[in-house]
Amino acid sequence: MASHYEAPIRKPLILGDKGYHDVSVDIAAPVEGRASTQWWIVFSIALAAFLWGVGAIIYTISTGIGVWGLNKTVNWAWDITNFVWWVGIGHAGTLISAVLLLFRQKWRMAINRSAEAMTIFSVIQAALFPVIHMGRPWLAYWVVPIPNQFGSLWVNFNSPLLWDVFAISTYLSVSMVFWWTGLIPDFAMIRDRAFKPFQKKIYSLVSFGWTGRAKDWQRFEEVSLVLAGLATPLVLSVHTIVSMDFATSVIPGWHTTIFPPYFVAGAIFSGFAMVQTLLIIMRKVSHLEDYITVQHIELMNIVIMITGSIVGCAYITELFIAWYSGVEYEQYAFLNRATGPYWWAYLFMMSCNVVSPQIMWFKKIRTSIVISFIISVVVNVGMWFERFVIIVTSLHRDYLPSSWTMFSPTFVDIGIFIGTIGFFFVLFLLYSRTFPVIAQAEVKSILKSSGARYKALRDAGKPLYTINKNGIVRETIVNNNQETAFSSESNQEESLLSALGSFDSGTQDPDDLKKVKGIGPLMEKTLNKLGIFSFLQVSKMTQKEYDLLDSLTSAFPGRAQRDDWAGQARMFLNNDK
């Protein structure tokens, strides 16, 4: 994927003064660095929620489904609501990686890895529910058409639940393969950077012997394209089939032919919202603002707005058709949905899914990170309620009024749902610490065409490559806008360098600052950026410089002082002599 020409009017997809090495360093940083306290806190919460969910599941399986709030009329509620919700969330991944790949949307490259990871993790959550909602989950394998010793017993191919089994398992496996295929060159990059033997071993294994030869790349491209072609219909098929669980039934409110397209739109809607939620957090925590830019957020917001509008149209169409059909049961089902005892759920659904995304028409709002984050959460709440509304309000008052009743969840219902959220985040947090969270190989492919640095070079009419005679590329060319923006910072920088002395790459060799305890690869890079390359410079640091450094880097305030970098640097200097 050679970098082709991109119109200057297009906004850069990779911000900052990024070269190829920078991309590697930035993306490998969360994997190579140590976990922050926030990560541990969030991980502990997620793990606790997960374990709580495991407890609730064990209780359910050992005692019976009766520990849930279900009854003879409402036989599905939170279980299948959660199932459909998680499957829906799992839709954005394939859409982004496959459909947008086929449509050559370059902006997908920054988000597809995490979107796919999210897909897989949410499909795992989803797949849990059809199993645990069974009365006898230990017989769950009976829904798979495997030869058995029970005589001629076979599955019922008429049942949409069986189609679900096929749809979900196909989707999960194709997504897994697709995801992993994309990961191979990135794992290889981490493998190549890894210096601890264990990590090197692991990343060698998972990168399947990637060498980076031209033949490797060619096959990689081919496989990606083929898998994208395979996965694209799956984006449509999975939720279509999930919707058929309802659409093929005879229950008013379920028996609706609009369901397949409506469910797919809803799935993409909720999937993008979840991607949005996760990436807004991740770009901050993993310092990926240069890769996942406001432009990405805006584009995702537009997708959310469009799919939200489709979903809104579907809601209104359903109401219209119910009225137009003249079928009293159908009419009552929808009237009851909107105005019956569960009116509040319907209101949640309508306001979260239809109304809230509409504010994205305003550019100011759709480029606001805070509002985007809030809306993305609201959308997923709304989509959960959509499934709840469809399932519970249709069932609780169906044909015979004598069977009408209500549903309310028990702590086990709630516990399992929270448990899956915990499980999801456990997986995602582990992923964010061990996997390259951005498809760096792909990002590198557009660096020349869409990277801010190269765009600036191109605009300035300068060559894209300058090879320093000493082999060290000084990174001097900075976007003009950024320079002014950081003018106050550059003042501080100068004052810092004046105190520590400058480093001349022409005459001096840079020291490995990572030897200093407390300076990781990330910090080293930051220091390098500031012009600090040698132990000599570090050794000159005093309280004033520490403070200056803190205000410049704004990471780990007080750390340099605590670890006594200057002292350590002096020691290294002495050792060298």
Partner 1 sequence: MASKKYWKSEAELNPNDSIVETLRQNEFPEEIPVDEFLGDKENLSASTTNRRDFLKYVGFSTAAASLAACEGPVRKSIPYVIKPEQIIPGIANYYATTIANGYDFASILIKTREGRPIKVENNKDAKTNGTGNARIQASVLSLYDSTRLQGPLAYGEPAEWAELDTSVKNKLEGLKDSEQQIVLLTQTYASPSTTKLISEFKEVYGNVNHITYDAISEDAALSAFEAKYGERALPTYDFEKAETIISFGAEFLADWQGGGHDSGYSKGRVPKNGKMSRHIQFESNMSLTGANADKRIALKPSEQKKALASLFGKLNNSSVNVDLSDNISKAVEDVASEIRKAGNKAVVVTGLDDVNAQAVTLSINEMLASLAFNPSAPRFIRQGNSQAVNKLVQDMNSGKVGALIMDGVNPMYTLPNASDFSEGVAKVDLTVTFSTNWNETTEITEFTAASSHFLESWGDAELVKGHYSLMQPTIKELFDTRQFQQSLLQWMDSDLNYYDYIKNTWNSGILGDVSWNKALHDGVFVLESNTEGESSTTNDSSVDQTMDQEPEVETTIEPISSAISSLANSSAEGMELVLYPKIGMGDGQQANNPWLQEFPDPITRVSWGNYVTVSKADASALGLINENVANGGLNGSYAKLMVNGASLENVPVIIQPGQAVGTMGLSFGYGRQVGMKTEMQTGVNAYALYQGFNCIQNVTLEKASGMHEFACIQLHNTLMGRGDIIKETTLEIFNTKDHSEWNHVPQVSLNHQEVPATTVDLWASFDRSIGHHFNMSIDLNACTGCGACVIACHAENNVPVVGKEEVRKSRDMHWLRIDRYYSSEDTFDQDNTKKDEFAGAAETKTGFEEMEIAAVNPQVAFQPVMCQHCNHAPCETVCPVAATTHSRQGQNHMAYNRCVGTRYCANNCPYKVRRFNWFLTNNNDEFDYHFNNDLGKMVINPDVTVRSRGVIEKCSLCIQMTQKTILDAKREGREIADGEFQTACSNACSNGAIVFGDSNDEESQVTELRQNDRMYHLLEHVGTRPNVFYQVKVRNTNEA
Which residue, 341 or 558, has its beta carbon nearer to partner 1? Answer: 341
* Residue 71 touching partner 1 (CB under 8 A): yes
* Residue 337 touching partner 1 (CB under 8 A): no
CB atoms within 10 A of CB 274: 28
* Residue 146 touching partner 1 (CB under 8 A): no
Write the DSSP assignment of 425-490 as a string of letters. HHHHHHHHHHS-SS-HHHHHHTHHHHBHHHHHHHHTT--S----TTS--------HHHHHHTHHHH
Name the one range near partner 1 by CB under 8 A: 127-135, 464-472, 522-530, 563-571: 127-135
- Site for partner 1, residues 33 to 52, rule: CB under 8 A: none
Least distance between partner 1 and beta carbon 115 (Å): 30
Residues 76, 161: Cα–Cα separation, whole Å: 13
* Residue 463 touching partner 1 (CB under 8 A): no
* Residue 406 touching partner 1 (CB under 8 A): yes
Name the one range near partner 1 by CB under 8 A: 134-142, 207-215, 374-382, 492-500: 134-142
* Residue 328 touching partner 1 (CB under 8 A): yes
CB atoms within 10 A of CB 564: 16
- Number of H-type helices and E-type strands within the chain: 27, 0
By CB under 8 A, name the one of 1, 51, 54, 65 that touches partner 1. Answer: 65
Name the one range near partner 1 by CB under 8 A: 62-70, 202-210, 449-457, 506-514: 62-70
* Residue 316 touching partner 1 (CB under 8 A): no
* Residue 262 touching partner 1 (CB under 8 A): no
Which residue, 251 or 285, has its beta carbon nearer to partner 1? Answer: 251
* Residue 73 touching partner 1 (CB under 8 A): yes
Least distance between partner 1 and beta carbon 103 (Å): 36
* Residue 162 touching partner 1 (CB under 8 A): yes
Segment holding 98, helix H or strand E: none
What burial letters (b/e) apply to 297-319, b meaning 16+ CB within 10 Å? bbbbbebbbbbbbbbbebbeebe
* Residue 155 touching partner 1 (CB under 8 A): yes
Tokens in use for 203? 């990343």
The one-letter amino acid code at 239 reads: H
Report which of 170, 384, 167 is spatially closest to residue 274, judged by C-alpha positions.
Answer: 384
Residues 396, 405: Cα–Cα separation, whole Å: 5
Residues 10, 271: Cα–Cα separation, whole Å: 26
Least distance between partner 1 and beta carbon 246 (Å): 9
Name the one range near partner 1 by CB under 8 A: 49-57, 128-136, 271-279, 503-511: 128-136
* Residue 402 touching partner 1 (CB under 8 A): yes
Size of the site for partner 1 (CB under 8 A): 58
* Residue 397 touching partner 1 (CB under 8 A): yes
* Residue 62 touching partner 1 (CB under 8 A): no
Residues 455, 448: Cα–Cα separation, whole Å: 7
By CB under 8 A, name the one of 59, 220, 373, 404 that touches partner 1. Answer: 404
* Residue 156 touching partner 1 (CB under 8 A): yes
Name the one range near partner 1 by CB under 8 A: 104-112, 260-268, 389-397, 492-500: 389-397
Least distance between partner 1 and beta carbon 156 (Å): 4
How large is the C-alpha radius of gyration of the chain? 27
CB atoms within 10 A of CB 266: 30
Least distance between partner 1 and beta carbon 356 (Å): 24
Write the DSSP assignment of 122-167 as a string of letters. HHHHHHHHHHHTSSSGGGGGGGS----SSSS----TT-HHHHHHHH
Which residue, 351 or 403, has its beta carbon nearer to partner 1? Answer: 403
Least distance between partner 1 and beta carbon 22 (Å): 52
* Residue 398 touching partner 1 (CB under 8 A): yes
Which residue, 35 or 406, has its beta carbon nearer to partner 1? Answer: 406
Which residue, 18 or 133, has its beta carbon nearer to partner 1? Answer: 133
Tokens in use for 401? 């009024």
Is-contact 56 416, C-beta < 8 A?
yes
By CB under 8 A, name the one of 20, 154, 320, 361 that touches partner 1. Answer: 154
Bridge partners, residue 451, by sequence:
14
208: left (phi over 0), alpha (psi -120 to 50) or beta: left
Residues 101, 105: Cα–Cα separation, whole Å: 6
Residues 68, 79: Cα–Cα separation, whole Å: 9
Greatest alpha-carbon pair distance for the chain in Å reads 94
- Site for partner 1, residues 273 to 312, rule: CB under 8 A: none
Tokens in use for 188? 């290889």
Which residue, 78 or 454, has its beta carbon nearer to partner 1? Answer: 78
Residue ranges binding partner 1 (CB under 8 A): 63-66, 69-73, 75-76, 130, 133-137, 139-140, 142-143, 153-156, 158-162, 165, 245, 248-251, 327-329, 331-332, 335-336, 339, 395-408
